[in-house]
Structure 1
Amino acid sequence: MSFNHILDLANDSGGTLYLMVILFTLALTIIIERSRHLSNMMEAGDQLLKLVKTKKNLNPQVFTEFLEKHPKLPHLNLVHAANDLPGNLKHDRESLDSVLEEALMHEVPQLDRSLWMLDTVITLAPLLGLFGTILGMFNAFSVLGQGQSGALQITSGIAEALLATASGLVVAMVGLIFFNGLNTRVRLVIHQLETLKIIILNQGNIKIQHNLKAL
């Protein structure tokens, strides 16, 4: 199949194959970016949980070193939220729980950022492929008035038109596999945040220097 033939197929599909390439590129971009981001976040979150579990009080020196490596880790916002409580409320479990829950809720929307675009690609790609196939079949059946030779062209045209549907299904299947995987990672990060919240609540006393936020 020559390059010119591929271009002819793309044109016969009403340009939908060009859009399919764009959708596939967009899906791959989101998959790679989110996979790396969430993987790094999960790894750093596990390290933080291990630090907290081994310390009755959150050691300032340990967390200073940790912040230098992971200054934007969302888990640390829970720690800062607890640290910002007035001294007389740090031992009030109800107040601490409320503050930590609010901080957690602020972080959740950021975790699945861009995943709605991947979800849209998964839904749109098969529909776009079907649309391209329909346009391709219009072109195939336009040769009906050419007699016996037209029948052969129709058969060939239908086979080529189905390429758009096949492309859409491939894009959707690849996107769906990674979409489910990314959603699983998001849930695991949320579980880490909830675990950290419980650990902080159970520790009761939190000792972290306020100037850590400036790092």
Structure 2
Amino acid sequence: MKPFVILCAPWLALATAHAQAPTPSVFNSAATSAKKDYEKSLEDLSKVRAEIDKDKEPMNRKLSAAEAELASLQEKFAPLTRELDQAELNVVNLKNEVKLATDEGTYLTNIMDEFTKGYESKVHVSELQRLGEALNKAKAASDDEKATAKDRFMAQVGLIRAAITRLAEVIGGTRFEGQAVDSQGFVMDGKFALIGPMAFFSAKGGTGSGIAMPQVGSPMPIIRSITPEINASIATLVETGKGMLPLDATLGGAIKDFVTKHSLLDTYKHGGPIMHPLLLVSILVFGTAMERIFFILREKKRRQPRDVHEILEAVEAGSFDKAINLGRKSKDYVARALSHALEHVETNISDALGMAASMEIKRFKRGFFVLDTGMTIAPLLGLLGTVTGMMASFAAIGADMGAPSAITGGIAEALIATAFGLVIAMTGLVPFNYLNNMVEDAEHELEVAASKMELIIEKNKKHEEELRHRHRQMLAGESGGLQQITGKAAASKPLGQDPLPA
């Protein structure tokens, strides 16, 4: 900075002098002075440069030494740098491998979780007794959030090992000890024989054998017997491993349909004790309905409208005895009712006809009380069976949660009893309405015939009254003429006496 000021000083002085408009002598003096200053400045600059050159050499030597030392250090630490770079690269590769292994482990864990959850449905229920420990352990590890990945993985691997062992055993069939439940809910110890998709069971001591089937709500299979011959063959097969195999080409579907199919007698037995009164009610209802239907059809077949017409003609002619005899001989219920009413015609014909019609209708409605009562009480008995069945189910729940067959048996009893009661009521309703309709038709026919007879009788009565009135007028006229001639009464009878019978 100092050399720069020295160099610029003459120029500044010259500029100042010029600005003040100096004289030429002053300008020359200033130029001389500036030149001196310039030369001095150059001299000072040379000195400064000399000093810089003097100081630059040691600095160059230091810089060269530093660069040499840096090169030596770089050469010394180059392997370490390469190792560090390689280590960083290895770390990145390891992280990628760890991530890949973690993803693979997660994928395998998810697959094994699905395998664990679905494995129970892939094996027969009887096999859960020997695979249950490994399966429960794997399930517990899968559901335990605090379990480590290693413990979870090892538990699942244990289930896979058990599944592989089981697969090797079931090829060609296998037998193993276990427990099963009979149809009454009692637990039996015995042996299973697993052959293909079917599992057979034989209890110890030969107390029971049959096909092992799953039951809802219980880890134990239920034993369904088929026929005594097949059950004996199953027992021999399970105990000895040899014998006749109850082959089912439909992979167990036909046998399952067979053991789950119930006859009407089996359904009746499962309905419980309330089925006995329901059976009695059904017999009474259907028996009465059939008897009434046959009776009314027979009466309809015996209808003889000509006999009714002849009776009405006889009544119109005044031949009551003839009409009564025609009605007694006829098989037509309308003719009989009219004949019975004519026997009491001297009292009140309307009451006589009503009484005769009521007697015939009573014959038609005989047994309707049984039908009506049976159709009313059948659903009530079914409801009673529902209550008793549900009571048995709840009692089984409170006594033993491990007997689902007893629980379902009570529910089945309730439903069967209710169904039978409703069937009886609905089935009896059809003939009951039909019979009521037939009785209404019979009542209508009796009412029509009674109305016709009543009209005929009333018409005859009016005709007789007219005849009597004319006869009285005639007698009165004759009596008046004689009295005028003789002056005395022509007859000894009191005036107004009716000569005709009532």
Q: TM-score range by the shorter chain?
A: 0.7 to 0.9
**Aligned counterpart for 2:340 among listed residues 74, 80, 83:** 80
Task: Summarize the alignment of residues 118-157 of structure 1 with structure 2, pairs less than 5 Å apart.
Answer: 118-144=371-397, 145-147=399-401, 149-151=402-404, 153-157=406-410
SS of the aligned residue for 1:182 comes to helix
Identical columns (%): 29
Per residue, is there more helix in 1 or in 2?
A: 1
Q: Is the 8 A contact 1:30 1:118 kept in 2?
A: yes
Aligned equivalents of 1:3, 1:96: Cα separation in 2: 57
What's 2:294 paired with?
36
Q: Is the 8 A contact 1:130 1:165 kept in 2?
A: yes
TM-score (norm 2): 0.34
Aligned equivalents of 1:9, 1:68: Cα separation in 2: 56
Aligned equivalents of 1:7, 1:75: Cα separation in 2: 48
Q: Is the 8 A contact 2:380 2:421 kept in 1?
A: yes
SS of the aligned residue for 1:85 comes to coil
Q: Is the 8 A contact 2:285 2:374 kept in 1?
A: yes
What's 2:437 paired with?
184
Aligned equivalents of 2:382, 2:349: Cα separation in 1: 52
TM-score (norm 1): 0.72
Aligned equivalents of 1:151, 1:96: Cα separation in 2: 73
Aligned equivalents of 1:98, 1:85: Cα separation in 2: 9
Q: Is the 8 A contact 1:122 1:172 kept in 2?
A: yes
What's 2:313 paired with?
56
Aligned equivalents of 2:285, 2:366: Cα separation in 1: 13
Q: Is the 8 A contact 1:53 1:199 kept in 2?
A: no
Per-residue CA distance 1:96-132 (angstroms, 9 max, x = gap)? 3343223223433332111011100000000101111
Where does structure 2 lack aligned partners over 5 or more consecutive residues? 1-261, 461-502
SS of the aligned residue for 1:142 comes to helix
2:432 is equivalent to residue 171 of structure 1: no
RMSD: 3.2
2:97 is equivalent to residue 97 of structure 1: no
Q: Is the 8 A contact 2:378 2:421 kept in 1?
A: yes
Larger radius of gyration: 2
Deviation of the 1:43 alpha carbon? 3.4
Aligned equivalents of 1:102, 1:172: Cα separation in 2: 33
Where does structure 1 lack aligned partners over 5 or more consecutive residues? 90-94, 206-215
Deviation of the 1:202 alpha carbon? 3.2
Moved over 6 A (4+): 58-66
Q: Using a 3 Å threshold, how does the CA distance of structure 1 residues 2 and 180 change in structure 2: closer, same or farther?
A: closer
Aligned equivalents of 1:80, 1:127: Cα separation in 2: 43
Aligned equivalents of 1:4, 1:118: Cα separation in 2: 25
Structure scoring higher RCO (CA < 8 A, sep ≥ 6) equals 1
